[in-house]
Amino acid sequence: MTSVPHELEPGTRLFSIELDEVQLEHLVRWAGAVDDYEPLHYDERAAAARGLDGPVVHGPWKASVLARALVEAVEADARITQLTCHYRRPDFVGDRLTFQAEVTEVIPRHDDLQVECAVRVIGEGGMETVVGGATLMLPRKNEEHCEGAQLVTQVMLDRLNYGQEAGRFTYRIQENDLERFHASIGPVDELDPRPSVTVSGGMEVAPPTYYMAIDPVERRDLDIEGFVYQVPYPIVGGGNAFNEVEYERPIVVGDLVTVSTSFTEVYEKVGRSGQLLFRVRSNVLTDLRDEVIARSRMGHAIAYDLSERNMP
* Interface contacts to other proteins, rule CB under 8 A: 177, 180-181, 183-186, 188, 198, 200-201, 203, 205, 207-209, 212-213, 218-220, 235-237, 239-250, 252, 254-256, 287-289, 291
- Per DSSP (E only), the strands in 123-255 are 128-139, 165-172, 198-200, 203-205, 235-247
Looking at the Cβ atoms of 208 and 232, the one nearer to other proteins is 208
Give min distance, CB of 37 to other proteins, in A. Answer: 33
Give min distance, CB of 103 to other proteins, in A. Answer: 17
Give min distance, CB of 227 to other proteins, in A. Answer: 17
Looking at the Cβ atoms of 65 and 231, the one nearer to other proteins is 231
Give min distance, CB of 181 to other proteins, in A. Answer: 4
Contact 204, 198 (CB under 8 A): yes
Q: What is the largest CA-CA distance in the chain?
A: 76
Looking at the Cβ atoms of 70 and 253, the one nearer to other proteins is 253
DSSP count for the chain of H helices, then E strands: 5, 12
Q: Is 277 buried (19+), middle (13-18) or exposed (0-12) by CB count in 10 A? A: buried
Looking at the Cβ atoms of 88 and 219, the one nearer to other proteins is 219
How far is the CA of 80 from the CAs of 48, 71, 285, in angstroms? Answer: 37, 7, 37
Strand, coil or helix: 186? coil
User: Alpha-carbon distance 222 to 3, whole Å?
Assistant: 44
Contact 285, 296 (CB under 8 A): yes
Give min distance, CB of 213 to other proteins, in A. Answer: 4
Give min distance, CB of 236 to other proteins, in A. Answer: 7
User: Alpha-carbon distance 289 to 284, whole Å?
Assistant: 14
Q: Cis before residue 5, ω within 30 degrees of 0?
A: yes
Give min distance, CB of 157 to other proteins, in A. Answer: 23
Looking at the Cβ atoms of 80 and 212, the one nearer to other proteins is 212
Give min distance, CB of 283 to other proteins, in A. Answer: 14
Amino acid at 163: G
Contact 177, 207 (CB under 8 A): no
Looking at the Cβ atoms of 154 and 184, the one nearer to other proteins is 184
Looking at the Cβ atoms of 146 and 252, the one nearer to other proteins is 252
Looking at the Cβ atoms of 34 and 241, the one nearer to other proteins is 241
Strand, coil or helix: 149? helix
